[in-house]
Each structure stands twice: as C-alpha cells, then as structure tokens.
Structure 1
Amino acid sequence: MPGVPMQSRFPYLWLAAQKMIGGTRDKSALVLRHYSNQRRIIEIGCSLGNLSDAYRELDGISYTGIDIDNSAIAIARQRFASQKNFQFEAVPVEEMARRGKPYDYVVIAGILHHVDDRTAIGIIESSWKITAQGGVLIASEPEALRPADNAIFRLFYRLEEGRFLRSRRQLAGLFEAAGVPVTSLEDHLVSPGVVTWPAVARFNLVRADRAAT
C-alpha cells in the first residue's frame, strides 16, 4: 500500500515508535507549555491519541480530540475508554466551527505540515472560530530544515511524512492569512524520547489569544 502513512498501516507500531524515537515527550510538553488551567480543551488532528496522554493528569478538564481518520479515532476511543472526561470524534474542525461550541484551549498539534497552504489556512480559521473569548489557540509544527542543520536533523526529517514543512516565517504567514493575530512565536528543539540528546528536530510554537469581553 504505497503512499499510506505508517500510522494507518501499523497504528500500534507507529505509537510505540513515536514514544521511543518520535519525540512524544517533548511534543507533549510543547502543547502544554501555554496551558494555564483552561477547562475546555480540544485537539485538532489527534490521530490515535499520541499526545492525548499529556492531558490525563489535568484536573477538572473536558478534553475533545478530533480527526478525519475514522480508524484512528476508533483506536483513540479504545485507548482512552477509562477517561470519562475524554471524547473523540471523527469530524473535521470545520464541522466543529459550524456547531459553534467554544473551547478555552485549542491545540493544532503537528498537522499543518501535512496539508497545503489553502487547507492549512482553513484549519486555522476554523480553530480560531471555536476559541472562546479569553481562550488560547496553540499550534505546534516541525520547522523546515535550515541550511546549517546537521546530519542528525536531516536523517530524522527523512522519516517525516509531511510534504509541506514550512519555515518559521511561512508558518506565521498562514496565521496572518487566516486573520489570526499571533501573540508569540517560539522555537524549541525536540529530542527523540528514550534519550534527551541529541536534538533531532526544531518545532515552532504559535500562540494566539482571543480577547475576553
């Protein structure tokens, strides 16, 4: 099945690989970096729930994970069946925007580099629509390789399935095109997981705050 992502072909192997060498620990820390006791959380593109573990220990939250992959959502539901405050839905974020339910902490975690600019802008626009007043929108994305990046970075990025890796400036441009004001844009190094050295990727972390009224 050429062209089918590994997470679809071998989901549990993909999950194990992510935890061991895919940087899950650091990626989880990134999506929680700007968390400050928000109660209603949604993750857009949650896949199998790779990063959903990050929210298990948060008290008093309601977590929703969405993805357009029905099989991935089915696995996520099985994995988190005991978490009564977790729910997973196989719907696009555009559908969530139509429903109009607001969320205090909206996370786009590592999916924009899988889609073209037009689709990415639409995802950001819809994510902003469901960000509650006083809420926060976060996007965590691997940055395109820089000329000075070393061989370890280049090897890791060869395993990256996303075809639309962007520079820091290009990522910020997507938010500008979507009409979403960026509060902060940070760069963070990501380590494999089983070891904390060496860094294997650079992630950009975007934050946008919707003003309270």
Structure 2
Amino acid sequence: PAVPVTAGLREVGALGLAGPRERLTGLARSVLAQLAALHSADTLEIVLISADRSRPLAERTAEWSWLGWLPQVRPRHGQDCRLLLAHDREQATARAAELLRRLDDHLGDEARSGARPQDTAEDATAATGTVRPQPSWARPDDGTDPAGGFTGPYTVVVVDGDPGGADVREAVARLALEGPRAGVHVVCLAETAAASPTSPVTRTYEAACAVSPVFREC
C-alpha cells in the first residue's frame, strides 16, 4: 500500500510538486490545509501566485477560491492588497517584489550583525556530534541549514505554473533559493502527464521545468 511522504520545508527550503491537475491540486490542498491547521496566522502567512495565462482566469480563481477563507492569506506586513492571492501578472509582480524586499531587509540585518546563516546548524552539530538526517531525495547536505536558523514568522509562497514574465520568474527563483533564510518557502506546482511506475523520474522533472521554469530551483 502507498505510504505518506513527509518533507519539512525548513529542512528542504523549497518544494516542487508535479502531476496531473486533479492530483496536483488535491495534494496542494492537503499540504496547505496541514500548514494552516498547525500554524496560526501569527506564525504563518500563505501567498498564492497563480498567474499562468495558459489557463483561464476564471478557472484559476475558482480553483483557489477556498484559500480566501484562511486567515493566513490576509496581509499582515503592510501589503497593498485585500488578500495575498495573485491571479494576474500585476498582482504577481507586486507580491514577489514585497517578498524580495523582506528578504533583502533580512539579509541586510544579517550583514550588519555579522551573523552567518549556517552558524545555527554548525553550532548544533558541534554540540551534539551528530549530523541531521536527510531524506534520500534531498539535495546533498553541505552542512548548512537552508533556513539559516530563522525562527519565524514564516511565509509559504504557492506558485502554480508559470508565475509570469522574466522579472517575476527571476524573483520567484531567488525566493526559492535564498528565501528560507528569511522564512520564505516556495512550493511550486507544475501540471504534467501522469507517470507510471516504470517511467523515468527525469522525464517528469523535465516536463515540470518546461511548464514552470521556477520548478528547477525547488
């Protein structure tokens, strides 16, 4: 029988999910529902970027309408919007820019304080003499903590498909790579054909990257 696969965003930094639309959105709902149930709006905000023009606006809006009921999608950092739901390129650009400013502010604070993002992970390893276990599918552990010891509050950015133009893609890609240091974690969704037990994982991966260029950074 199938068994659940667990992934800690604070450990892996970013997460990519790929598959047929029905399964993909069902899995995404499950992930977000767990996050929302286990974290209050004071400790977690959820940002949606669903601006892929290959799908009709009405379809995208209806598919994610349930998120509007969650307190985690209400702006708490002075964002100029009613809900943190971006369904067009203008909104996607605004949400990405807000998150980049927050990341830059955090990195600036790190630089001024002289802190290194890996200090927390290194100190913990030195104190215990153990290395944090990693799942078999994780990127090679270089001894650093993707979250850099960040303790919250956190932001989960759901990117459904292609987020927009080159500027938005670059912004989201940077958030996927550097965002965990400021508590920003990207969950990228890419609609692909169903895979079989014998089909190569690389085929699905490349198909996902073609649908959503940001997927390669997750």
**TM (normalized to structure 2)?**
0.36
> Which structure has the larger Rg over C-alpha atoms?
2
As a proportion of its length, which structure holds more strand?
1
As a proportion of its length, which structure holds more helix?
2
